């Protein structure tokens, strides 16, 4: 039987507000067994960027990353957010190790080709790019990888990479060795059937996902998130939950949020 591994992705408000982050990290520190944390940090990047005169430029929710923006996200994701999470986890007894994709070459990416939109220094990743042996080495050494949304191209360039996608492919790659539970934490209590009434879709299959998309119930930013979740499922990840960052334990126990089946 494979050992369990919990892969948790956080983003949004929980990263921006110290009290929320502290509570989340306390909950994360209490997760049993081996674990990996993957984080974005978009709102702080936009704020720091503005202070530095770099206006955020988002197209369909994806950040256009010119050289100045890459510098900002490198500072914010790789430095400010990552190192603070690591220091806070260390204080809570988790032997955290902060990583970008360049560190120990854990995650190489390919710079996105220009089709209609030039995303700039944005990297696309596939399961084959995940350095599963070194993650395994870190996990076996008692370390908890904390990965920020940066990869590298192997040519000396960092690349901005979607954290949801990173979580999906890291979880997928590790599922060869571990029984992986992937948890996407965000502001909402789950994938919503009714935003006003906050009614959560408790279970989502490829078929019901397709129906909800056709009806327009699931739309916009939820679609790439769910595409990532279903990709993980198809790639051997044991269970995938999507829900609120303040419900981590219940998400892990599948008592909250949306389960991807």
List contacts with a second copy (CB under 8 A): 48, 51-53, 71, 74-80, 82-84, 86-88, 90-92, 95-100, 102-105, 134, 137, 141, 143, 150, 152, 154-158
User: Nearer to a second copy by C-beta: 26 or 254?
Assistant: 26
Nearest distance, CB of residue 66 and a second copy, angstroms: 15
Q: Looking at beta carbons only, is 14 or 218 nearer to a second copy?
A: 14
Q: Which is nearer to a second copy, 113 or 155 (CB)?
A: 155
Which residue, 80 or 192, is less far from a second copy as judged by CB?
80
Shortest CB 261 distance to a second copy, Å: 36
Q: Give min distance, CB of 168 to a second copy, in A.
A: 22
Q: For tokens 């955290």, name the residue.
A: 96
Beta carbon of residue 159, minimum distance to a second copy (angstroms, whole number)? 9
CA distance 104 to 87: 20
């Amino acid at each position: 039987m494979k050992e369990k591994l919990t892969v948790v992705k956080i983003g949004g408000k929980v990263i921006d507000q110290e009290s929320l982050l502290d509570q989340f990290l306390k909950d994360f520190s209490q997760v049993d067994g081996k674990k990996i944390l993957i984080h974005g940090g978009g709102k702080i990047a936009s704020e720091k960027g503005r202070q530095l005169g770099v206006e955020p430029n988002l197209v369909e929710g994806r950040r256009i990353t010119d050289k100045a923006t890459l510098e900002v996200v490198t500072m914010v994701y790789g430095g400010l957010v990552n190192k603070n999470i690591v220091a806070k986890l260390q204080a809570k007894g988790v032997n955290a190790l902060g990583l970008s994709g360049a560190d120990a070459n854990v995650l190489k990416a390919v710079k996105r080709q220009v089709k209609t939109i030039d995303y700039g220094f944005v990297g696309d990743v596939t399961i084959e790019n995940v350095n599963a042996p070194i993650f395994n080495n870190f996990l076996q050494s008692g370390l908890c990888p904390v990965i920020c949304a940066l990869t590298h191209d192997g040519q000396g360039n960092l690349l901005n990479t979607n954290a949801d996608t990173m979580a999906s492919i890291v979880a997928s790659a590790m599922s060869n060795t571990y029984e992986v539970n992937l948890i996407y934490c965000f502001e909402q209590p789950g994938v919503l059937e009714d935003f006003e009434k906050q009614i959560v879709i408790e279970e989502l299959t490829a078929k019901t996902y397709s129906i909800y998309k056709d009806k327009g119930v699931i739309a916009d930013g939820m679609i790439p998130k769910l595409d990532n979740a279903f990709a993980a499922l198809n790639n051997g990840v044991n269970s995938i939950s999507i829900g609120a960052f303040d419900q981590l334990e219940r998400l892990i126990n599948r008592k909250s949020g949306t389960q991807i089946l």
